Amino acid sequence: MTKYADTKTQNLDDLIAVEEPLQIVIIHKGDEKEAPLTITMRSPGNDFDLAIGLLYSEGIIQTIDDIANIRYCALVDEANRQNKLKITLKPTIDVNIANIQRSFLSNSSCGICGKQLLEQFFENIQPVQIPSEKIPIAKILNLPDHLKAAQLLFKHTGGIHACALVAFKGGILTVKEDIGRHNAFDKLIGDQLTKRASFANTIAVLSGRIGYEMAQKAAKAGIPVIVAIGAPTSLAIDIAKKAGICLIGFVKKNSLNIYTNPEYIQTN
């Protein structure tokens, strides 16, 4: 690249965030049916976690035990082998692939739209488990710095989002990075499911804004608190209210905004 600074130009090497497609194919009904589910643009790495988290967030699986096998496709050329995943569901798991594919197409093209779709969307939001203890506000204020310190890819490229899961009592449980905010969250959820770890009394810390899809993923996983450096959307706030999630945005060193369920936070 050519860098311009202080009226001078230099030819320098630069570290760039990698962006590649990942196709996810579902095999269900005892290997009888194979169906492409979606293609997502992601940062390579933690692909199994990403796929597992995505299937869980979309309600295709309920536990990690619903998956019989997950693997990269061996029938594609070497250059693209790491960009196609096949996930075999157990024979007892029956899914309506056509409906799911339509849902992915709708969400990728125009998002959640229309009164009927909104009503159906909110019907699937279930209350999270109410936290058994309050979180000191000092801990919340320190979370952006802890997340930034753990963002290795962002440090080198400046083009990566991150999502961390933090215990109410203790530190960071896991951190995932990706060019896509939702991908980072799916990787985090998939990692926890694979570990068979609980989401109770945990905080999701986001490097950017809080859109509806991030609030929905937290609600599905049962994460009771979302903390973000950026702003929430109105639909994210509505989902947080419905699910009983404490949603916190614009977190800085000495200030933050609590949009829902402030009783989860100890402010004195």
Question: For the segment 166-199, what is each residue's pLDDT rounded down to a tens digit?
Answer: 999 989 999 999 998 999 999 999 999 999 999 9
- In Å, how far from its chain's centre is CA 144? 17
> ∠85-90-91 over CA atoms, to 5°?
125
Q: Which of 171, 170, 204 is nearest to 185 (CA)?
A: 204
Render the burial of 5-16: b for 16+ CB within 10 Å, e for the rest.
eeeeeeeeeeee
Is 110 an annotated catalytic residue?
yes
CA nearest neighbour of 26 among 79, 77, 86: 86
**Dihedral sign, CA of 252, 17, 197, 190?**
positive
pTM over 0.85: yes
Q: Residue 23 to residues 31, 131, 138, 150, 244: CA-CA distances in angstroms?
A: 18, 37, 42, 28, 34
Q: What is the mean pLDDT of the chain?
A: 86
- Give tens-digit pLDDT for 64-74: 999 999 999 87
Q: Which domains does the chain have, with CATH numbers?
A: 20-119 (3.10.20.10), 135-266 (3.40.140.10)
Angstrom distance (rounded) from CA 60 to CA 30: 16
Q: Which of 73, 110, 163, 246 is catalytic?
A: 110
